[in-house]
Structure 1
Amino acid sequence: MKGFIVAGTNSGCGKTTVSIGLMSLLKAKGYQVAPFKTGPDYIDPLFHQKILETPSYNLDTYLLPDNAVSHLFQKHSEGKDIAVVEGVMGMYDGLGVDLKGSTYELSQRLNLPVVLVVSCKGLYQSVGAIVSGFKNYRIHSNVKGVILNHCSSKEYYSFLKGIIEEECGVKCVGYVPSNKDFSLESRHLGLVQAEEVEDLQSKVQQLTDVLETTIDLEALSAISEFEFNKNVHFSVPKIDLSDLHLGVAYDKAFRFYYQDNLELLKELGAKLYFFSPLYDESLPFECNALYIGGGYPEVFAQQLSDNNKLMRLIKDKVEEGLPVYAECGGLMYLTEKIIALDGSENEMVGIFNTSVQMTKRLQRFGYADLKYEGSTTRCHEFHHSDLIENIKEANYLKEYELNKSEKQQSWNCGLQYKNCLAGYAHNHFYSDFQFFEKIVELWKGKNESTLIK
């Protein structure tokens, strides 16, 4: 099998640009590419999917057990020519001295070759020292190749290539010149979503055309050989979801779902019906439960608020017992209103009698452990908003207990009203199947007479 992980020296060095460019170039050359993203990020996989027209999957060594990481990687790489895994942050950036959740840890778990992206801005021979440092910081670092970003000329690249290959023993497989046309707009939670970049295909095509002349695909292919771990033992729970007809909120405001979560539900027999809180005035008539993922409801708050016919329907159905599971943006949508930084307000569904205040700073960021009804799973939070509480008697209970043991922090979330459960935490169902089974119980067991009519 061929595959590699695109690691960076730091956030902002160009990992996403290089990853997208390489995926597009490989596709153009006839390769069947299996795309992946290290860590919990939702936005980069959507770019991969847009470019390759195939799903991209998250591989997170903190959220997922080792055998789940290996199983999912092998499952989604099967039948493909090459796997391309985009890294996260700097190569060695993770939790604690064990580098938990880092790009490095994932490369070790999967025995994947690493292609290191190094920005050359403001540097000359020092680029060699950086490559040497990353290669030798850990024994068996797997750093096999280097791509130089913001490289001013072919001559400059040739000079650095000679230094790196001779003194560091790492193969240079190409470079990316500086070009503002390749840049992607950012937002407070990361990049703007792929669907919101009107000229994305044009940008990617320009990038692909350049990389066709600056990337040595033969050299890249040569360093990409690896072997799967053939001793992976993994199985999913035997749950019959054939009677679960799940309405899934999916549009520009709600698009943050782990692809494996959706596919697991379908593999167990659930029927998924996608609907848009932005545009649809009714729910899919077949559904008997809802799944509302994360996204950017605050960006589209006015449009969501204007679609009050759907919001009234959702509220009425929840009052009748319709089961709902929601994460982050989904939680925000189910409160009474979203309050912007400038104080403007937009009415939301109003299941929970609390509101959301947008904030300049991150309120919660990173991994945590989550306890819910006797199950424990790992989760991830990342939000620039907070709940406004204590303004009236709460009509909900807080069912989640979250903690960060390394920082000795703990808090409660997971608002529950009737059969509606929503929290800021993002959850990967493969992290802990006991938690997944609790969500299934919520969807299936609380009320069986809620078919949309």
Structure 2
Amino acid sequence: MNSNSIQCPALLISAMASGQGKTTVTAALARYHRRQGRRVAVFKTGPDYLDPQILAHAAGSPVAPLDLWMAGEAFCRQQLHRAAREADLILVEGAMGLFDGTPSSADLAIAFGLPVACVLNARGMAQTAAAVGLGLARFRPEMHFHGLVANALGSERHRQLIADSLPADAPLLASLPRRDELALPSRHLGLIQPGEGDDPHNRELDARLDAAAELLADTPLAELPPSVPFTAAEIAPPPPLLVGRRIGVARDAAFSFLYAANLQLLEAMGAELRYFSPLRDKHLPAGLDALWLPGGYPELYAARLAANRSMAASIAALDADGSAIVAECGGMLYLQQTLTDQQGVRHRMAEVLPGHGEMRSKRGCQGMQSAPLPEGEIRGHAHHHSRSHDTLDPIAHGVRASHPAPGEAIFRRGQLTASYLHLFFPSQPQAVAALFGAPPGVEPPKERQNATSGA
């Protein structure tokens, strides 16, 4: 074992497919161990803003993404090593099905030696659930399969039929009954964010998490998983290209899709972050050099955004001054002329950019993409249920990770860059610094700073 490695119990919780209950299981397990007085570090595989908020609420600590394509192996290794130094337990929630995607959750587990527990919604099956579980366990022999978690069971007999059909090296670790009160509340794009709206929502969420945690108590899943050695990664600190620059960051219920790693990188490069709310504040913070409007749910608060004309005027003035502005997905929709919500009501937006956004109930876009910008290529992803029309002509399109079709349009006017793409800033710090107005003269990187596994 490497002398620089640190041992920590760790478990990756994946599933047969999406919608099996892995977020419920991961959050309940985090809540259970937190109630036992343990420090729990939780990660989410792949691009996601909503599940991590539920997981962070359950664990009482921030949740970072782990993705071999978007973030790179070195970033993931660094995050896990740091967590192992501070936590008593590391939990990683997978994305989609265990073997879906390139790289997949299984690839992540194999890369870092994480044992895997797989959640399976067993409604409508009994012994067949064991057959599916056994297939998951055997499909990649190099993966350490820890066991199966059966969800949506109808009775104790149902659980027993599955448990008796599994071999000793792929056991049934736990089971959850078929109860509506255990399901996490959701809507389009995913789960409802904790802390959104009124306090009763958080009380309801806590009640669901506590109930699920109680059901996991006294099961093998609640026992600490095997310890895993985590080694440090050698990543050079980001260059201090944003020293002295004040960046306004929109953060409220309408604009909440913020990776902590993105914020940390901006600060590590010297930026001063000033948070504001387009919903509540009348003007931008004073003295800004740049602005970041992240994604979120502007469609749910479109009437309030439309009514706040002073904020729209403040953003338009900053744009007219030539300050750098980065607008992602919901942030881009807000800067356009109008946004039509899911009820078909058209709302006036900030009118900084030409274009009209319209929500759609189906045919949303999602997937991993990189943004080939003049400053350099930044990796990220798309996930939206809307479309925009009558926009600027794009300067480029996103490059999909695993498909030849053009990705999301990227728009630019002056120092303003807008797209449906959500960017992962640590994938290319120098390009990000240039987007936010770093002084000229820095050579754009020819290659990504962090080597990426599975690209």
Normalised TM-score (structure 1): 0.89
After superposition, the C-alpha distances for 1:270-329 in whole angstroms (9 at most, x for unaligned) are 221111111111212243211110101111111111111111111112112222111111
For residue 116 of structure 1, what is the amino acid of its counterpart?
Answer: C
Aligned counterparts of 1:34 and 1:190: Cα–Cα separation in 2: 22
Alignment of 1:243-254 (within 5 A): 243-254=244-255
Which SS does the other structure have where 1:184 is aligned? coil
2:418 is the counterpart of 1:416: no
2:12 is the counterpart of 1:5: yes
Aligned counterparts of 2:353 and 2:75: Cα–Cα separation in 1: 35
For residue 13 of structure 2, what is the amino acid of its counterpart?
Answer: V
Aligned counterparts of 1:257 and 1:14: Cα–Cα separation in 2: 24
Q: How many residues align?
A: 432
Q: Which residue of 1 aligns with 2:447?
A: none
Which SS does the other structure have where 2:227 is aligned? coil
Aligned counterparts of 2:288 and 2:60: Cα–Cα separation in 1: 27
Which SS does the other structure have where 2:351 is aligned? coil
Q: Which residue of 2 aligns with 1:450?
A: none
After superposition, the C-alpha distances for 1:168-211 in whole angstroms (9 at most, x for unaligned) are x1233221112111222322211222223733333433442453
Q: Which residue of 1 aligns with 2:445?
A: none
Q: Which residue of 2 aligns with 1:267?
A: 268
Alignment of 1:63-78 (within 5 A): 63-78=70-85
For residue 113 of structure 1, what is the amino acid of its counterpart?
Answer: P
Q: Which runs of 5+ in 2 are unaligned?
A: 1-7, 442-455
Closer/same/farther in 2, CA of residues 417 and 443 from structure 1, 3 Å limit: farther
Checking the alignment, whether the CA contact within 8 Å between 1:289 and 1:443 is kept in structure 2 is no
Aligned counterparts of 1:49 and 1:214: Cα–Cα separation in 2: 19
Q: Which residue of 2 aligns with 1:223?
A: 225
Give 1:93 shift. Answer: 1.0
Tell me how large the CA RMSD over aligned residues is: 2.3
After superposition, the C-alpha distances for 1:136-189 in whole angstroms (9 at most, x for unaligned) are 1112222112222112334543443233244xx123322111211122232221
Q: Which residue of 2 aligns with 1:148?
A: 150
| Aligned counterpart in structure 1 of residue 112 of structure 2, from 99, 110, 113 | 110
Aligned counterparts of 1:219 and 1:412: Cα–Cα separation in 2: 41
Q: Which has the higher contact order (CA 8 A, sep 6+)?
A: 2
For residue 361 of structure 1, what is the amino acid of its counterpart?
Answer: K
Normalised TM-score (structure 2): 0.88
Which SS does the other structure have where 1:200 is aligned? helix
2:41 is the counterpart of 1:34: yes
Q: Which residue of 2 aligns with 1:179?
A: 179
Alignment of 1:205-244 (within 5 A): 205-216=207-218, 220-230=222-232, 232-244=233-245
Alignment of 1:159-170 (within 5 A): 159-166=161-168, 169-170=169-170
Aligned counterparts of 1:410 and 1:244: Cα–Cα separation in 2: 34
Q: Which residue of 2 aligns with 1:119?
A: 121
Closer/same/farther in 2, CA of residues 303 and 224 from structure 1, 3 Å limit: farther
Which SS does the other structure have where 2:54 is aligned? helix
Range moving further from structure 2, 212-221 or 178-187: 212-221
For residue 33 of structure 2, what is the amino acid of its counterpart?
Answer: L
Which SS does the other structure have where 1:407 is aligned? coil
Aligned counterparts of 1:267 and 1:119: Cα–Cα separation in 2: 43
Closer/same/farther in 2, CA of residues 185 and 240 from structure 1, 3 Å limit: same
Checking the alignment, whether the CA contact within 8 Å between 1:24 and 1:204 is kept in structure 2 is no
Aligned counterparts of 1:165 and 1:205: Cα–Cα separation in 2: 34
For residue 182 of structure 1, what is the amino acid of its counterpart?
Answer: L
Aligned counterparts of 1:57 and 1:142: Cα–Cα separation in 2: 23
Aligned counterparts of 2:223 and 2:217: Cα–Cα separation in 1: 11
Which SS does the other structure have where 2:256 is aligned? strand
Which SS does the other structure have where 2:367 is aligned? strand
Give 1:371 shift. Answer: 0.7
Aligned counterparts of 1:263 and 1:374: Cα–Cα separation in 2: 20
Checking the alignment, whether the CA contact within 8 Å between 2:368 and 2:401 is kept in structure 1 is no
Which SS does the other structure have where 1:162 is aligned? helix
Checking the alignment, whether the CA contact within 8 Å between 1:36 and 1:86 is kept in structure 2 is yes
After the TM superposition, list the runs of 4 or more consecutive aligned residues in structure 1 that deviate by more than 4 angstroms: 217-220, 443-446
Closer/same/farther in 2, CA of residues 70 and 438 from structure 1, 3 Å limit: same
